[in-house]
Amino acid sequence: MSAQPTKKHIIAALVENKPGVLNRVVSLFRRRNFNVDSLTVGRTHKPHISRITLVIDAARLNPRQMAANLYKLVNVVDVKVVSEELHVERDLALIKVRTDDTESYNSVTELCERYPTRIIDMGSKVAIVEITARAELVEEFIDKLKPIGIIELVRTGVVAMGRGTRIQDTEYEPVVYENGQNAVIERFSV
Amino acid sequence: MLLTGAEILLECLIREGVEVMFGYPGGAILPTYDAMAKYPQLKHVLVRHEQGASHMADGYARASGRVGVCIATSGPGATNLVTGLATAMMDSVGIVAITGQVSRGSIGTDAFQETDVTGVTLPVTKHNYLVMSAAEIPHVVHEAFHIASSGRPGPVLIDIPKDVQTEKAEFKVENYPPKLKLPGYQVPKGATETELESALELIRNAKKPLILAGHGIMMSGAVQELRELAELAGIPVTLTLLGKGAMPENHPLCLGMMGMHGNAACNYAIQEADLLIALGMRFDDRVTGNLKTYSPNSRKIHVEIDPSEINKNVKVDVGINGDLRTVMRQLVPGLPRKTHPEWMAQIRDWQEDASEREILTHYTGEGLLGAQVVNDLWRLTDGNAITVSDVGQHQMLEAQYYPHQRPQTMLTSGGLGTMGFGFPAAIGAKFAKPDEEVWAVVGDGGFQMTLAELATARQENVPVKIAILNNSFLGMVRQWQEFFYEERYQSTPMVNPDFCKLAEAYGIPSMRVTKRAEIEQAVAFARSVDGPVLIEFQILAEEIVYPMVPAGNDLHNMIRRPKPGESQ
C-alpha cells in the first residue's frame, strides 16, 4: 500500500483492445526470457483500451528494460512502472476450504475476521472464502488456512494503481474506416 | 470508388511509392494477382521460392533505403517467407510482406494451405496485421509502410484473407494516405540538454576515445555527421559489419571493422579506449566477445533509436535514445576541437603489426585464395560496386578485403547470418540500383540454398554478377572444426555440381577461375555481359579467416595469423 522498497516490481500497460494483443505481450516475454510472477488483464472504462498489470522479480529483471521492450509493441499505448511511485495494489483469491467439523469451521470463521475477507459460500463440508488485499497479505492468509485444509484455490494476480492524481490514461480514440466501422471489437478481445 | 480489396491494396501500394514487388502466386492470393493486370506500373518479379522473394525485398530495401515489398500465398507460401523476415528483423530492414490467407469463414478450421501466419511471424516482424475487412486496407497499408520505415526499421507483414481481397469497399483516392493513429508508436527525436552535456563532458575529457559506428549511421542518413564528428574531435572510428560504408575506409580516422573477424587494431583499441561512443549499433555478441572483459576502462556513450537496446548488453554511462542524425547534429556545435596523437600512434603500431601478418603480401602458394579473389575484385571494380555477400568465410573476406567508400554498397546478413541471402538479395539490390554494378559474392554452400533464383535472374534478365568462392567445403564451419573440434570435418566437405554447367542450363554465361592470373579476365568478362553472369572461383579449402575471436572469448584474445617465419 506504499512505495516501500520490495523485491517485486509492478508494471502497468495500457494496450489497444485489438485481437492478438495479449499474444504479442506474452510472446515478447517468452522470446526475451522475461519471467513474470503474475499477469492480469481487463478492459478499462474505455472500450478500446485494456490494462495489463505485471509483477516481476526485481532481482532478475530490470523494470526499465521490460518497460522499454513492452513499449516497442505497436499496440502498447502506455507503460508505467507503478511500483516506483506511491500506489495501491490488490490481489484477490477465492479459497475453498474444509469446514466439515466444528474445529475447522471455527478456525476458518475466526481467521476470516482477522483478514479483509468475505465468506461467500458456506456449506456443511466446505466454504469459499474471498480475500482482497496486498499479495503478501493474501499469501499470509493462505499459509494460515493451509493447516485447516485448502481444497481449491484461484487468484486473480495483482492489479495496481497510482495514488492520488497520478493518472495512467490515454487520449487516443480508435480509427474509423470509410464504412463507419472501427477497429475495436465490441467484446473482450485481448 | 467501389473497389475490391485486392484493387484497394494495389492502389495503396502505388501511393506508398512501390515500384516493384517480389512474389509467388497461389490460391489464397490469386485475387490480388488477378488485379495486378490493371496496375502495370507495379512491376512484379516472379521468384522461384518465397524465401528468395523476402531476401530480394530486403536487398532492395538495403540498397535503396526504401521499403521492399514481397508477396506470397497462404500456408507454405507464407512460411517460406519467414527466414527472410527474421533476417530483416535482425538487421532492422524495412520490408512489407503481403500474404494471402484462407477466407474469413475458414480461419481456424485447418483449411487447405492455412497457417496462423500472424502467429508464426509475430517474433520475426516489427508488427503484423490480419486484415478482416476491405475497408481496413488503406489504414493497414499506410501504417505498415510507416512502421516498416520509421524509427528502428523492420519487417511488417499484412495477412489478407482471400474473401477480403474480393470484398468491395469504398476507396477514396483523395483520402489517401489516411491519418495515422498509432498512439503506442512514437519515433524518438533528439537528445535532451542534459544528455548532450553529459556526452560532451565525456568527449572533452577523453584521451583515448573511439567511435563504434553501426548500421544506424546509414539508416538515419548520418554519414556526413559521422565524418564531421570524427574529424572535429579527432576521434578514430571503427565499424560494425553492417556499419561498413558509414565512413570511407581509406579515411585516416577509419580503422575498419571490429569484432570476431575484425581488424586486430580495432579490437585492441576498443579494449584500451577510455571512451567508447557507440552510434547506431547494438553491442552484438559478435562485436563484444566476453562482456565481462569488454572495454574495461572506458566510459561509454550510446546513441540508439531503440530504447530497449540501451543497457541491454553493455552498461553505459550516457544512454541517448534518439534519431542518430538529429543527436549528432546536436552534438557537433559543442564538440571540442581536438587531436589525439599519442592514441593514434598507438593504433598505428597495432595496424603495422597487422600488416606484417597480411597474407596477400607473403603468400607464394599456387592455389587461389578467397582473399585474393575479393581483393582483386575490389581493385578491378575500383572499390565502387555494390557487393552482396552471403554468410561464411567469403563474407568475412569480403568485409576485410573489399573496403567500401559509400554507404549502402555493402549488403550482408549480419545479425541472423542467413546462408542463402546473398544471391537473391543481390537481385533485389540490382532492381533498386539498376545503374550500379552489383556483385553477389557467395560461397558454394550458401549459393546452393537459393540458387533456384538463377531462373528469376534469367527471366528478368537481371544483370547481377555472381562470384562463387568455391572451396567445396562449408568453409567457416570447417574453420571452427579445425580450431575447436580437432579437425574432425564432420559434414562439411561438399560434392558440388559443376556451377558453370548449371549456369549454362539456366542460359546464363559463366567462367571458371582456378589461378590468380585469370581473375582479371574473368571480371572483365563478367562486366561485359549485360545480364546475369556467373564466375566460379575455385579456391583453397585450407584458407583461414584471421584474426578470430573465438565465441565468448575476450576481445583482445584473438587467434592471429602468424607472421612470416613464426610458427602457428
Q: Write the pLDDT tens digit of every residue in A109-133.
A: 999 999 999 999 998 899 999 999 9
Q: Are A13 and A78 in contact (CB under 8 A)?
A: yes
CB contacts of B311 in chain A (<8 Å) are 62, 64-65
Q: Are residues A100 and A114 in the same domain?
A: yes
Overall domain count for chain A: 2
Please state, in angstroms and rounded to a whole number, the distance separating the CA atoms of residues B96 and B53: 11
| Chain B residues with CB within 8 Å of chain A CB | 118-119, 122-123, 126-127, 130, 133, 135-136, 138-139, 147, 169-172, 175, 178, 181-185, 306-308, 310-312
Say yes or no to pLDDT of A138 above 80: yes
ipTM of the complex: 0.89
Helices (H) and strands (E) in chain B, counts: 24, 20
Q: Are residues A167 and A154 in the same domain?
A: no
- Residue span(s) of chain B under CATH 3.40.50.1220 come to 193-352
B53-109 per-position pLDDT tens digit: 999 999 999 999 999 999 999 999 999 999 999 999 999 999 999 999 999 999 999
Of A64, A67, A42, A60, nearest to A52 by C-alpha is: A42
Task: Tell me the CATH number for domain B193-352.
Answer: 3.40.50.1220
B347-394 per-position pLDDT tens digit: 999 999 999 999 999 899 999 999 999 999 999 999 999 999 999 999
CB contacts of B181 in chain A (<8 Å) are 172-175
Please state, in angstroms and rounded to a whole number, the distance separating the CA atoms of residues B300 and B203: 10
Write the single-letter amino acid at A33: N
Do residue B130 and residue A174 have CB atoms under 8 angstroms apart?
Answer: no
Band (pLDDT 50/70/90 cuts) for residue B568 is low
* CATH number of the domain within which A167 lies: 3.30.70.260
CB contacts of A27 in chain B (<8 Å) are 122-123
* Residue to substitute from A175, A176, A184, interface B, most B β-carbons within 10 A: A175
* CATH number of the domain within which A144 lies: 3.30.70.1150
Cα→Cα distances B517→B366, B372, B376, B381, Å: 11, 10, 10, 16
Please state, in angstroms and rounded to a whole number, the distance separating the CA atoms of residues A187 and B141: 25
Q: Are A17 and A189 in contact (CB under 8 A)?
A: yes
Say yes or no to pLDDT of A3 above 60: no
pLDDT at A4: 47
Residue B46, beta-bridge partner list: B23
Q: How distant is the Cα of B382 from the closest Cα of chain A, in angstroms?
A: 42
Please state, in angstroms and rounded to a whole number, the distance separating the CA atoms of residues A38 and A117: 21
Q: Are residues A137 and A187 in the same domain?
A: no
Q: Are B46 and B58 in contact (CB under 8 A)?
A: no
B352-362 per-position pLDDT tens digit: 999 999 999 98
CB contacts of B169 in chain A (<8 Å) are 178-179
Say yes or no to pLDDT of B285 above 90: yes
Write the residue in A68, A76, A181 that is nearest to B308 by C-beta: A68
Please state, in angstroms and rounded to a whole number, the distance separating the CA atoms of residues B350 and B261: 15
Q: Are B146 and B186 in contact (CB under 8 A)?
A: no
Write the residue in B170, B175, B308 that is nearest to A72 by C-beta: B308
Q: Are residues A78 and A30 in the same domain?
A: yes
Band (pLDDT 50/70/90 cuts) for residue B463 is very high
CB contacts of B307 in chain A (<8 Å) are 68, 71-72
Say yes or no to pLDDT of B325 above 70: yes
Mean residue pLDDT across chain B: 97
Q: Are residues A82 and A168 in the same domain?
A: yes
A145-166 per-position pLDDT tens digit: 999 999 999 999 999 999 988 7
- Residue span(s) of chain B under CATH 3.40.50.970 come to 2-175, 363-538
Band (pLDDT 50/70/90 cuts) for residue B441 is very high
Say yes or no to pLDDT of A188 above 60: no
Flag whether the pTM goes above 0.90.
yes
Span B363-538 CATH architecture: 3-Layer(aba) Sandwich (3.40)
For domain B2-175, is the CATH number 3.90.25.10?
Answer: no
Q: How distant is the Cα of A72 from the closest Cα of chain B, in angstroms?
A: 7
Say yes or no to pLDDT of A187 above 50: no
DSSP-assigned states of every residue in B122-146: GGGSSEEEE--SGGGHHHHHHHHHH
Structural domain containing residue A41: 1-86+163-190
CB atoms within 10 A of CB B426: 31
Q: Are residues A93 and A78 in the same domain?
A: no
Annotated catalytic residue within B19, B113, B433, B518: B113
Please state, in angstroms and rounded to a whole number, the distance separating the CA atoms of residues B488 and B478: 9
Q: Are residues A167 and A93 in the same domain?
A: no
Of B420, B495, B492, B493, nearest to B452 by C-alpha is: B420
Q: Are residues A168 and A78 in the same domain?
A: yes
Strands B20-23 and B209-213: unpaired
Q: Are residues A152 and A175 in the same domain?
A: no
Say yes or no to pLDDT of B52 above 70: yes
Please state, in angstroms and rounded to a whole number, the distance separating the CA atoms of residues A20 and A27: 10
Please state, in angstroms and rounded to a whole number, the distance separating the CA atoms of residues B115 and B136: 22
Q: Are residues A45 and A6 in the same domain?
A: yes
Q: Which residue's entry shows cell 600488416? A: B355
Local structure of residue B10 (DSSP, 8 states)? H
Do residue B133 and residue A74 have CB atoms under 8 angstroms apart?
Answer: no
Using only the alpha carbons of chain A, give its radius of gyration: 20
pLDDT at B179: 93
Q: Residue B521 catalytic?
A: no
pLDDT at A185: 52
Of B363, B362, B372, B364, nearest to B523 by C-alpha is: B372
Q: Strands of A76-81's sheet, edge to edge?
A: A36-43, A49-57, A8-16, A76-81
Do residue A65 and residue B312 have CB atoms under 8 angstroms apart?
Answer: yes
Q: Are residues A77 and A167 in the same domain?
A: yes
Say yes or no to pLDDT of B299 above 50: yes
Q: Are residues A10 and A76 in the same domain?
A: yes
Please state, in angstroms and rounded to a whole number, the distance separating the CA atoms of residues B88 and A97: 54
